[in-house]
Amino acid sequence: MRERIIHIVVIIVCVTLAICGTWYFMRNNGEVVTGTKKNVTIKEDNSISEAIDKVYDAVVVVDNYSRGRLTGYGSGFVYKKDSKRGYILTNYHVVEGADEVKVELTSGEEVDAEVLGTDEYTDIAVLGIDPDVVTTVAELGDSSEAKLGDTIFTVGTPVSQDYAGTVTKGIISGENREVTLENDGQEYVMEAIQIDASINPGNSGGPLVNMNGQVIGVNSVKLVESSVEGMGFAIPIEVATAQLDKLENGKEVERPVIGVSLYDVNNIAALYQQGIKLDDSIKNGVVVNSVEADSDADKAGLKAGDVILKIDGTDVRNSAHLKYILYKHNIGDSVKLTISRDGKVRELTLQLTKKLGD
């Protein structure tokens, strides 16, 4: 009997202590939640909405009309505004062949646009619109400050105009890419930023934007192959804006021409046909096939059979790469050529005085 009483007392003491402990904890450390609701704020650290807001209304759809019919479209963005007009950057290929161009604003309004200037080589065009319809001007950033892995996003019109204003997000996948393209049978090299953000036909000309809402590139090319996915390219904003003063005023962009015909060193068939045999040590460069009389190349002393190995110390990979290096220079500049002639390496100074079209 005594043991039973002790057992009951122990149980009562334990229950009492449990009740008191729970009350004490709730009074001093806890919260009473029964029968109440609390407002919960979710913070999305990865949201890019503030950056999007800075640029979104500066982005437009660019419509290409020929003979009164819509023949193509792309994207663009307002980068400047003055008392005369709003200025839009887009790609050359977006407005190529157009006899009329219109732009659609994020408000849905469609307005006439004037093609002020184009540069086929850098795939850039500048359009002008009524400044009164411009509500937002995009801020231009510095692509050289961007790093591999930085978060970026694009705004544009992929696939169809029904998807105008589409935002896609990704990272910078590659820096300082040199992408070789072909246009009308001519190869050329484009300097590009590689991204993995989804871009599709119609995104061309739209802005590539950093997390500060600043434009660091102009979307231009997507590498489309059955075995490749997630590779997009944008023109660095410094390249896109390098000739804006001329393009805004309808002036021609002048690029140097040196007056030679060339073969790539790996074009074995052409070299064989011309009876040109190269030293086995030459792995890169271009072979001079002919030199125009009184050209800059002629004045510098270049001769048929010479192999141009370097320009200003930069290895020349092929003829498209040679143009890429030359086109970084202005008329009046001089460059140093490293050549191979008769098995010996020499250096020549080439003064750039003539331009395409002369």
Question: Residue 231: what pLDDT?
Answer: 82
In this structure, is residue 39 part of a structural domain? Answer: no
Q: Which amino acids are annotated catalytic? A: 93, 123, 204
In this structure, is residue 325 part of a structural domain? Answer: yes
Question: Residue 228: what pLDDT?
Answer: 58
| DSSP secondary structure letter of residue 3 | H
CATH number at residue 117: 2.40.10.10
Please identify, among 98, 133, 168, the residue that sits at the C-terminal boundary of a domain: 133
H-run or E-run covering 173:
strand 166-183
Q: Which amino acid is at 342?
A: D
In this structure, is residue 113 part of a structural domain? Answer: yes
Q: To the nearest 5 percent, what fractions of the chain are helix, strand and coil?
A: 20, 40, 40
Please identify, among 113, 133, 153, the residue that sits at the C-terminal boundary of a domain: 133
Question: Residue 217: what pLDDT?
Answer: 97
CA 127 to CA 150: how far, in whole Å? Answer: 30
**Could you please report the per-residue DSSP string of 203-250?**
-TTPEEE-TTSEEEEEEEEE--BTTB-S-EEEEEHHHHTTTHHHHHTT
CA 106 to CA 77: how far, in whole Å? Answer: 11
Instruction: Look at the chain and report how many structural domains it folds into.
Output: 3
Query: CA 118, 123, 129: angle at the middle one, nearest 5?
Result: 45
- 344 & 281 share domain: yes
CA 23 to CA 39: how far, in whole Å? Answer: 25
Give the range of the structural domain holding residue 217, as residue numbers without chain letter: 142-242
The single residue listed with the structure tokens 């023949």 is: 71
Bridge partners, 271 (sequence order): none
Q: What tokens does 329 get?
A: 């220079």
CA 326 to CA 311: how far, in whole Å? Answer: 8
Please identify, among 105, 133, 161, the residue that sits at the C-terminal boundary of a domain: 133
What is the full per-residue pLDDT of the chain (358 aa) written as tens digits?
Answer: 555 555 554 455 554 555 555 544 445 444 444 444 445 554 455 689 999 999 999 999 999 999 999 999 999 999 999 999 999 999 999 999 999 999 999 999 999 999 999 998 899 999 999 999 999 999 999 999 999 999 999 999 987 788 889 999 999 999 989 888 777 777 888 899 999 998 888 899 999 999 999 999 999 876 555 555 668 899 999 999 999 999 999 998 999 999 999 999 988 888 888 888 888 888 899 999 999 999 999 999 999 999 999 999 999 999 999 999 999 999 999 999 999 998 899 999 999 999 877 7
- 115 & 147 share domain: no
- 162 & 196 share domain: yes
- 91 & 166 share domain: no
- 274 & 215 share domain: no
- 102 & 159 share domain: no
In this structure, is residue 32 part of a structural domain? Answer: no
Question: Residue 201: what pLDDT?
Answer: 84
In this structure, is residue 67 part of a structural domain? Answer: yes
- 128 & 166 share domain: no
CATH number at residue 313: 2.30.42.10
In this structure, is residue 8 part of a structural domain? Answer: no
Of 29, 114, 31, 26, nearest to 76 (Cα)? 114
In this structure, is residue 57 part of a structural domain? Answer: yes
Distances in whole angstroms, Cα of residue 58 to Cα of each of 65, 146, 200, 207: 22, 22, 20, 10
H-run or E-run covering 300:
helix 296-300
- 224 & 277 share domain: no
- 104 & 174 share domain: no
Question: Residue 7: what pLDDT?
Answer: 53
Q: Model pTM?
A: 0.80
- 147 & 232 share domain: yes
CA 113 to CA 75: how far, in whole Å? Answer: 13
CA 311 to CA 329: how far, in whole Å? Answer: 11
- 155 & 81 share domain: no
- 301 & 329 share domain: yes
CA 302 to CA 123: how far, in whole Å? Answer: 31
In this structure, is residue 37 part of a structural domain? Answer: no
